[in-house]
Amino acid sequence: MIYDFIVIGAGIAGVSAAYELADQSTVLLTEAEAQPGYHSTGRSAALFTRNYGTPLVRTINALSEPFFHCPPEGFTDHPLLHPRGALAVAAPGNEALLDPVLAASTDNNPVIEMPVETALKLVPFLRPECVVRAVYEAGVTDIDVSSMLQAYLKGFKSRGGITNLRAPVTALSYSKGTWTVCAGKTTFMGKTIINAAGAWAEQIGQMAKSTPIGLIAKRRTAIIVDAIIANVLPGIDVTQLPCVDFAGSDAYIKPEAGKLMASPGDATPTAPQDAQPDEMDVAVLADWIQRETLIKVGRIEHSWAGLRSFVSDESPVIGYDQTVDNFVWHAGQGGYGIMMAPSLARAVAGLCHNGSLPDDFASSGVGISDLGPSRLS
């Protein structure tokens, strides 16, 4: 069988694109790991906020928002978004760093100045002497990534899509309008390749002899602190706390499954791999938590790392390769991939089926050249 599309990579980017493509075409989704979403998708902090990322990323986030609030009928029985809120705080000397956060406020997504006393009551683990200014965005929500991924997979299957797991791609070749893909122990044939391989996308591009896009994978570390240990005041419901960002660093702390997750927001360039946390990074993070907050880290429940992939302008790359026929890039989502997935999946399907982006992209001022790999030449 010759598939219309072969999607390489079953993270949220590949799975969502495969779902949209399968509405009109035959699609094979192939993945190196034993389960979809094993790497970055399964290790995401999973927040939705329109006020995050480059201007282009923010526009794409806005285009995804209707899907999160009202997914297609029958897509899922569970809400994809849950209220969270985000508090950004500044220590003495960093007050001005919150000005850009406040400036991002809109009528639909307000960001407000919050009295320090109110912020300290909202998040009791904050160290009072370390907070001299605070701003709050109520519209930030948690994304139920697991439900979202499973719904896309279920929908893909119902549309006739085929998923092939434990099958790393080892070779690609193109001849007479058809791609031959060696994945695992099987060879597949397809008319068009969708390169959604995440941190491995540049390597897949090399196999296809495509034009490089300069993709760099960067490691981010996170730890889970048991809520009982982190709960400095008895009776606090950790699940109701907002996400907390600390101006002057990329560090943040947020509730996660009844505990607290913390990350230094590191971005260490790393070769594509099953990323593991660096022991020194974990130790430095634990020390930072105890110096900057009232949390006493008696035990680290869990630590992990994930890879986020960027190109030079930190915006996603969606579009046909410049030199290789029928090879579509779907890469470079950085730390915004979950938020952008619904709209970018539609963008991939629009380009592949109609040669154009969906109407809402055009009305938002986003064109093919804004997303395509040619901008990186």
pLDDT tens-place string over residues 27-86? 999 999 999 998 888 777 789 988 888 899 999 999 999 999 999 999 999 999 999 999
Whether the pLDDT of residue 234 is over 80: the answer is: no
327 and 358 in contact (C-beta within 8 Å)?
Answer: no
Confidence of residue 236 (pLDDT cuts 50, 70, 90): confident
Whether the pLDDT of residue 333 is over 60: the answer is: yes
Nearest to 99 by CA among 133, 68, 137, 147: 133
Spell out the domain ranges in the chain. Answer: 2-75+144-214+312-376, 86-138+217-310
Question: What is the Cα Rg of the chain in Å?
Answer: 21
Confidence of residue 117 (pLDDT cuts 50, 70, 90): very high
Whether the pLDDT of residue 229 is over 60: the answer is: no
63 and 114 in contact (C-beta within 8 Å)?
Answer: no
What's the rounded mean pLDDT across residues 232-240? 75
Question: How many Å apart are CA 293 and CA 23, to the nearest integer?
Answer: 49
CATH number of 2-75+144-214+312-376: 3.50.50.60
Is the model more confident about 51 or about 216? 216
- pLDDT on residue 228: 53
Three-state SS across the chain?
A: CEEEEEEECCCHHHHHHHHHHCCCCCEEEECCCCCCCCCCHHHCCCEECCCCCCHHHHHHHHHHHHHHHCCCCCCCCCCCEEECCEEEEECCCCHHHHHHHHHCCCCCCCCEEECHHHHHHHCCCECHHHCCEEEEECCCEEECHHHHHHHHHHHHHHCCCEEECCCCEEEEEEECCEEEEEECCEEEEEEEEEECCHHHHHHHHHHCCCCCCCCEEEEEEEEEECHHHHCCCCCCCHHHCCEEEECCCCCEEEEECCEEEEECCCCEECCCCCCCCCHHHHHHHHHHHHHHECCCCCCEEEEEEEEEEECCCCCCEEEECCCCCCEEEEECCHHHHHHHHHHHHHHHHHHHHHCCCCHHHHHCCCCHHHHCHHHHC
pLDDT tens-place string over residues 344-371? 999 999 999 999 999 999 999 999 999 9
**Residues 6+ positions from 359 with CB-CB distance below 8 Å:** none
Question: How many Å apart are CA 98 and CA 92, to the nearest integer?
Answer: 12
Whether the pLDDT of residue 265 is over 80: the answer is: yes
221 and 375 in contact (C-beta within 8 Å)?
Answer: no
What's the rounded mean pLDDT across residues 311-337? 96
Question: How many Å apart are CA 64 and CA 12, to the nearest integer?
Answer: 13
- pLDDT on residue 77: 92
The answer to which of 147-161, 180-194, 227-241 has the lowest mean pLDDT is 227-241
Q: Indicate the average pLDDT of the chain.
A: 93
Block residue for tokens 């699940």:
239
What's the rounded mean pLDDT across residues 322-326? 96
- pLDDT on residue 168: 96
Amino acid letter for position 351: L
- pLDDT on residue 233: 59
- pLDDT on residue 227: 55
The model's pTM is 0.94
In this structure, which CATH number among 3.40.50.1860, 3.30.360.10, 3.30.9.10, 3.40.50.300 belongs to the domain 86-138+217-310?
Answer: 3.30.9.10
- Residue 92, burial from CB neighbour count under 10 angstroms (0-12, 13-18, 19+): exposed
What's the rounded mean pLDDT across residues 219-247? 80
- Residue 6, burial from CB neighbour count under 10 angstroms (0-12, 13-18, 19+): buried
